[in-house]
Each structure stands twice: as C-alpha cells, then as structure tokens.
C-alpha cells in the first residue's frame, strides 16, 4: 500500500504521548525505587510499600507502549496506545477526585506539595486534552491499512471477557472500599 495515502499521526497525539511517557516513567521510578518513602516523595502515602512498588512497575511497563507509540508516524501503528492511556487517565482522575482528602495538599515539604498539585493538574488536564487530540486525529485525511494478522475470534472473545471481568471486580472493589464495608483483618501473630 502507498504510504502517502495512509493516515499520519498528528503532532498533537505524538507530543501528548511523549509527555505521557515521560510522566509515567517519572512516577514509575519514584514509586518503584522510593516505595517506602511515599509519605515524602509522592502525592499521597501508599501502604504497604509493596503496593507502591507494584504501582510503580505498572507505570514503568506503560512507558514503553507510550514512548514507542509516540515515535510512530503512521496512525495505525500508534493508535493502540491512545484508548488505554485515555481510559487509565479518566479512571485515575475519578479515583483522585474521590480521595482528595488523602493527598498531601498540606505538606510542608516543597517537592511533596509540588508533586501533589502536578498530579492533580495532570489527571484533570490530560483526559481532556487527549480526548480533543483523538477527535482531531480521527478527522485527519488518509486511510488505515488492512490488518495484516487480525486476532482470531476466540482470542478477541477471551480478551473482551477478561476485560469485562476485570472491570466488574475493579468497580466492585472501588465501591466496597468507598463504603467501608470491607476491612481486612490483620492476623494477631502478624502484629508482633
């Protein structure tokens, strides 16, 4: 297929993916390597530290997808990152707004206070900006190439079911945690 006819990735999408890749790399490194210091070096305190390290690893894993997608000039090769980044930032924005009371907005440590405000700014602005840029990207002239190796139907079905199950359990855990209905009990022998 002639590359001249293919839909190009807009500069806006490429820039926001580069910015997002830098941000997830920064957050990932902070959470992974400073997991025991989130009270000072992060926007909110995360306990236990293993949870912070786990979140950091997730952010670090997303770095490559976002960075490599930002480098792609053909939209068909970059588009897989955008829905995931948008969904993640929207969900993180919602959770952030629901739990603003846990953030370090009253910290006396400059890096902590600045990081907290930056976090809030990013998770409010990025979903809006990315949505606008995605709409502008969709309006670009050009065509998408045919899929060279489409997923088999059984794989698509499996992935859709897996996504629905994860969505259900994620929403349930969020609602249960918000209501306070579930409080894990620490075994007596683990306290000493």
pLDDT per residue over 47-70, tens digit each?
Answer: 889 999 999 999 999 999 999 999
Structural domain range at position 146 = 3-150
Q: Which residue, 92, 95, 100, 114, is CA-closest to 41? A: 114
142 and 192 in a single domain? The answer is no
What confidence score (pLDDT) does residue 192 get? 46
Distance CA 107, CA 94 (A): 22
Whether pLDDT at 180 is above 80: no
51 and 132 in a single domain? The answer is yes
What confidence score (pLDDT) does residue 181 get? 62
61 and 74 in a single domain? The answer is yes
126 and 53 in a single domain? The answer is yes
Across 36-45, 166-175, 176-185, the highest mean pLDDT is recorded for: 36-45
Q: Which residue, 31, 152, 30, 21, is CA-closest to 82? A: 21
99 and 171 in a single domain? The answer is no
Query: Could you give the number of structural domains in the chain?
Result: 2
16 and 95 in a single domain? The answer is yes
17 and 106 in a single domain? The answer is yes
Distance CA 17, CA 123 (A): 14
137 and 183 in a single domain? The answer is no
Whether pLDDT at 2 is above 80: no
Whether pLDDT at 188 is above 60: no
pLDDT digits (tens, 9 = 90+) for 122-133: 999 999 999 999
157 and 146 in a single domain? The answer is no
Distance CA 141, CA 161 (A): 34
Distance CA 114, CA 25 (A): 18
180 and 143 in a single domain? The answer is no
| Average pLDDT along the chain | 90
């Amino acid at each position: 297929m002639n590359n001249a006819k293919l839909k190009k990735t807009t500069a806006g999408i490429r820039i926001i993916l580069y910015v997002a890749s830098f941000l997830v790399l920064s957050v990932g490194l902070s959470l992974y390597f400073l997991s025991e210091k989130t009270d000072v070096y992060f926007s909110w305190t995360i306990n236990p530290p293993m949870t912070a390290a786990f979140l950091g690893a997730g952010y670090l894993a997303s770095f490559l997808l976002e960075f490599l997608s930002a480098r792609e000039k053909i939209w068909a090769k970059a588009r897989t990152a955008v829905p995931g980044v948008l969904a993640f930032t929207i969900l993180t924005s919602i959770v952030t707004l629901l739990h603003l009371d846990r953030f370090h907005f009253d910290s006396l440590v400059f890096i902590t206070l600045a990081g907290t405000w930056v976090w809030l700014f990013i998770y409010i602005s990025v979903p809006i900006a990315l949505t606008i840029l995605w709409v502008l990207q969709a309006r670009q002239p050009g065509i998408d190439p045919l899929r060279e190796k489409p997923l088999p139907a059984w794989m698509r079905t499996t992935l859709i079911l897996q996504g629905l199950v994860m969505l259900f359990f994620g929403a349930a855990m969020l609602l249960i945690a918000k209501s306070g209905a579930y409080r894990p009990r620490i075994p007596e022998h683990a306290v000493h």
